[in-house]
Structure 1
Amino acid sequence: MSALFKQAVTYFQSGNLGRAQELVHAVLTQEPLNADAWHLQGVLALNAKQYGEAAEHLKRAATLRPDDCAIHVNYAAALSSASQFQEALQVLTRALSLNPLFAEAHYQVGACRLGLGQAPEAATAFTEAVRLRPDWPAALEMLAHALQHTGEHEKSVQLALRALELEPNRATCHRVVGDGYMRWLRYDEALEHYRLAVRLAPDDGLIRNNLGLLFTRMGRNEEALTEYYKATALTPKSPQAREGYAFALLATGRLAEGWPNYVARQRLEDAGFVVRKGPPPATDPSQLNGKPVLAWLDQGIGDQIMFASLIPDLIAAGANLTVECDARLVPILTRSFPGIAARFPVESSQLPAASPPELGNEQFAYQIYMPDTARWFRSDFAAFPRHPGYLMADRSLTQKLRRLYLDKGGDLPLIGISWRTAINAKISVSKTLELEDWGPLLSCQNATFVSLQYGPVHREIADVSKKLGTQIVCDASVDPVKDIDTFASQVAAMDLVITTSNATAHMAGSLNVPVWTLVPKGFGAMWHWFLDREDSPWYPSMRLLRQVDRGDWRPVLNRAASMLADFIARSYQ
């Protein structure tokens, strides 16, 4: 090793990278076949995030010294940093053949696998790196990150905490721990770690996004807006940040700002839904008059019902409308709006579509993502119509079901109840109640309670009915999941619906059936119920009964019981 190269190494180790760069360049001018100098030149470029140059320099070093495992690993790191993951894996295969116990090689394999979206394989590689170097904070951090993607959250948090014991100033580890605590509803502890993560990495968009989500769940909406705004500025191509910012704006009633951000998600990379192939998107309602227009809905049944309230506005704008929606909504939409066509593009379980459905030979002048029209027709709360219901159930079936339930209950008022939401969603825990906790309501006399709850609840209903001495009608002929049209008739047969925040609430509101919706505080308080309102601009027949303290439903149910007693008394006047 020449004296000049030794100086370059000394400057590199002391952090004087500029001087190290000057000296290594001088070495290579004199010794163009010096593998060590090319290696250092590549590492300097890698540190400077000049990944293309780094790969070139390190490739030359690997060519000059093909049996040096460390050179191959750094070469792979440069390729991986340039998103050339497959090429990097080929280099790492060579490195591991030279030294299968080199922890850094396994670490880089893990990084490549993560870049390829192969989280289980990444976790395997990082696990091996940690086995070989148990106290390596970077490997512990990356293993924790990979295990987040595989759903092993407890182990992920444990590893991140272990890394923080070794090296407390690792922002990603604080973020991983914060994510875990937020998942387990330990919000104060999550906030502590997110604060530390922000202090260490103020320009990390993912940390800002997740802190915004935490503030949303804590009901601290102005702080959530601030963090989401920063996240969108730092990561403008992130659908998650854009969606979070949109939801925060909409929840606080800033509709004119919120709608463009809500719709912007569909134009971003990795968005979960796509524009249909074919006609151009409409940009102004004046374009629609007399034109064939395809309007499409996405997301869950509740959201599709809610945004279907914009169909009358599109019809009034003169659109010759075809609506693309969940297959289960086609019958009720075509009945409610005789002038439109309704269809479904894919199996309902596959919405949103993974790739744009083809429009075949049909001719449309324009297409519209239905929520996008809200910026035209719902720019502020005054623009929401006081409608008498916009969906229409099968009247004959409604009358038949109502007569059936009245006969079972002795002509008492029919009170439909629903207490659960989809069990496969993280948000469900905040919106789901136990039927047994509805005791104050179910103890009300002179009413017939009818289950509107979807899912296998017959046993639960039988147990609670026996315990409380209350009859709850459970109609096995109605499947709220598979046959939404029949379910609409069942809801329309009710005098009142009391429900948690689920699709039943949207169905009742769209039919103009009186409905009381139980809304959690913080996590689970959907943006479309807005903040601190007891009414719903979407549904004039709806009242919102909100939690005061997060997780405590008792005051809400007691209040609902008192209101129900008054409702029943008025029905006899």
Structure 2
Amino acid sequence: MLRNITWIIGLSRSRAQIEGKPWVRERPWSVGYAKDNVNFSHHFVVAEQLLGERRIEEALAEFDFAEREGHDPDLCSAGRWTCMMLTGRFEAAWRESDLIAKRGKPDPHSFWDGQPCYGRRVLIRCLHGLGDTIQFVRYASLLRGIAASVSIEAQPLLKELLGLSGLADHVFTWNEPEPAWDQQIEIIELPRVFRTTLGSIPARVPYLFAPGGPGCAADSGFRVGLVWCSSAYDPARNIPLELAGQLCSLAEVQFHSLQADPGRAGLQRCVLPIQDVYDPSGSVIAAARSLQKMDLLITVDTMMAHLAGALARPVWTLLPYQADWRWMLDRDDSPWYPTMRLFRQTSSGDWQGVIDRVRNELERHCQTVAGLADVSTVERGSAAPGSVK
């Protein structure tokens, strides 16, 4: 099974990362390991430092050294797993997951028994974040092609959207009666179930749908949705509103806030030309319908980035230097979302450089759109007599 790697290597970030310094993941005893039962390794500490600096091959060698010294093998496998996913070597990552599963240490977020899904009634449980569910629920349609039936136990906020998208035979949420099943899988295990490679990611979009949302007026201008804060899970992903607000100097763009709480509170104290269109109920289906009215979403790494990608909406995702494994290294695109562009920090904590690049690209994009509109107007003006303009 694909173990919950984030659970193994820690759910929080160190203060050094929050302050924009190189990140070393939390020591094992901070995530539930008994200090007296862990053989601490200098090589493991060095490996994590190298991984934080994105010196991948050196980090891999140090994780190997650490395991040979007797350091917790699951932690070493988890470190190698992250290295492999960052560099697109998915097959090697799944082999690390196989090793973790074989060792059999209890994992409360792992359910797959390793058996094939053919002809079985499969229940997908969603125990991670909303973004994880949105990213990996694409695999439900693949499961339906081989399983007898597929049901999804979704987070309450996602139940309606997943039900409307027709990805499973049945969608329900926590504390609701669950259908009969033969096999259960946690949603983040699905890429490993299918032994996904970089070339076999099921990347056809859209795979989520939110029918019924009102359209935009034809003269509503170029509309950009903006999200500048992620959850408290990783503050290093957040951009100060004052910095993100530098984008709003582009007069030809209408900016709309899709920011959730608590980051939304700052909007009330600023004088930036940003219209707040966030639904305070937190409804994901409402957010999806708002996204369908936008020409572009500019967002940090949060659920909204995944939602826009799954809806096939144009989205620019702004990433910290030590970005999550799913965004890989040095790419300005995502193999998971064809309509997404990535803008990365080139050094830890440097959001100003990211905002400068985004502003330049947005200005260039608006000029291109305006140029196309001018060409269209000229073509209509030179139409044959009697044609409708």
Question: Which residue is equivalent to 1:493?
Answer: 293
What is the letter of the counterpart of residue 60 of structure 2? L
- After TM superposition, the structure 1 = structure 2 runs for residues 140-155 of structure 1, keeping only pairs within 5 Å, are none
Question: Which residue is equivalent to 1:475?
Answer: 277
- After TM superposition, the structure 1 = structure 2 runs for residues 362-373 of structure 1, keeping only pairs within 5 Å, are 362-373=179-190
Instruction: Tell me which of 103, 121, 124 is aligned to 1:292.
Output: 121
Between the aligned partners of 1:235 and 1:326, the Cα distance in structure 2 is 39
C-alpha change, 1:230 and 1:185, in structure 2 (3 Å) is: farther
Question: Which residue is equivalent to 1:565?
Answer: 363
Shift of 1:501: 1.1
C-alpha change, 1:550 and 1:383, in structure 2 (3 Å) is: same
SS of corresponding position for 1:450: strand
* Pairing 1:461–2:261 present: no
SS of corresponding position for 1:381: coil
SS of corresponding position for 2:144: helix
C-alpha change, 1:477 and 1:254, in structure 2 (3 Å) is: closer
Between the aligned partners of 1:225 and 1:418, the Cα distance in structure 2 is 35
Between the aligned partners of 1:227 and 1:477, the Cα distance in structure 2 is 47
Count of residue pairs brought into register by the alignment: 346
Between the aligned partners of 1:248 and 1:460, the Cα distance in structure 2 is 36
Between the aligned partners of 2:108 and 2:167, the Cα distance in structure 1 is 31
C-alpha change, 1:292 and 1:233, in structure 2 (3 Å) is: farther
Question: Which residue is equivalent to 1:58?
Answer: none
- After TM superposition, the structure 1 = structure 2 runs for residues 13-52 of structure 1, keeping only pairs within 5 Å, are none
- After TM superposition, the structure 1 = structure 2 runs for residues 261-280 of structure 1, keeping only pairs within 5 Å, are 261-262=96-97, 268-269=104-105, 271-275=107-111
Shift of 1:376: 4.9
CA deviation digits over 1:425-465, x for unaligned, max 9?
Answer: 2x32x21111111244211121211111111445522443x
* Pairing 1:433–2:239 present: yes
Question: Which residue is equivalent to 1:381?
Answer: 198
Structure 2 length normalisation: TM-score?
0.78
Contact 1:324 / 1:342 at 8 angstroms: preserved in 2? yes
* Pairing 1:418–2:227 present: yes
Gaps of 5+ in 1: 1-150, 152-178, 192-202, 348-358
SS of corresponding position for 1:517: strand
Question: Which residue is equivalent to 1:506?
Answer: 306
Contact 2:237 / 2:301 at 8 angstroms: preserved in 1? yes
Return the structure number with greater relative CO, CA threshold 8 A, min gap 6: 2
Cα RMSD, aligned residues only? 3.2
Between the aligned partners of 2:64 and 2:92, the Cα distance in structure 1 is 12
Instruction: Tell me which of 308, 320, 333 is aligned to 1:520.
Output: 320
Contact 2:89 / 2:198 at 8 angstroms: preserved in 1? no
Gaps of 5+ in 2: 1-11, 26-37, 373-389
CA deviation digits over 1:238-282, x for unaligned, max 9?
Answer: 65444333222111111011134347667753535243xxxx735
Shift of 1:420: 0.9
CA deviation digits over 1:63-120, x for unaligned, max 9?
Answer: xxxxxxxxxxxxxxxxxxxxxxxxxxxxxxxxxxxxxxxxxxxxxxxxxxxxxxxxxx
Question: Which residue is equivalent to 1:223?
Answer: 58
Between the aligned partners of 2:353 and 2:196, the Cα distance in structure 1 is 34
Larger radius of gyration: 1
What is the letter of the counterpart of residue 447 of structure 1? V
Question: Which residue is equivalent to 1:445?
Answer: 251
Contact 1:478 / 1:487 at 8 angstroms: preserved in 2? no
Shift of 1:506: 0.8
* Pairing 1:316–2:145 present: yes
Contact 2:321 / 2:348 at 8 angstroms: preserved in 1? yes
- After TM superposition, the structure 1 = structure 2 runs for residues 27-426 of structure 1, keeping only pairs within 5 Å, are 187=22, 204-205=39-40, 207-232=42-67, 239-262=74-97, 268-269=104-105, 271-275=107-111, 281-284=113-116, 287-289=117-119, 291-337=120-166, 339-345=168-174, 362-377=179-194, 379-393=196-210, 395-396=211-212, 398-399=213-214, 402-403=215-216, 411-423=220-232, 425=233
C-alpha change, 1:246 and 1:338, in structure 2 (3 Å) is: closer
Between the aligned partners of 2:68 and 2:166, the Cα distance in structure 1 is 42
SS of corresponding position for 1:473: strand
Structure 1 length normalisation: TM-score?
0.54
Higher helix share: 1
C-alpha change, 1:262 and 1:545, in structure 2 (3 Å) is: farther
CA deviation digits over 1:196-241, x for unaligned, max 9?
Answer: xxxxxxx944544443332222222222222334445556766544
Question: Which residue is equivalent to 2:375?
Answer: none
C-alpha change, 1:261 and 1:343, in structure 2 (3 Å) is: farther
Shift of 1:187: 4.3
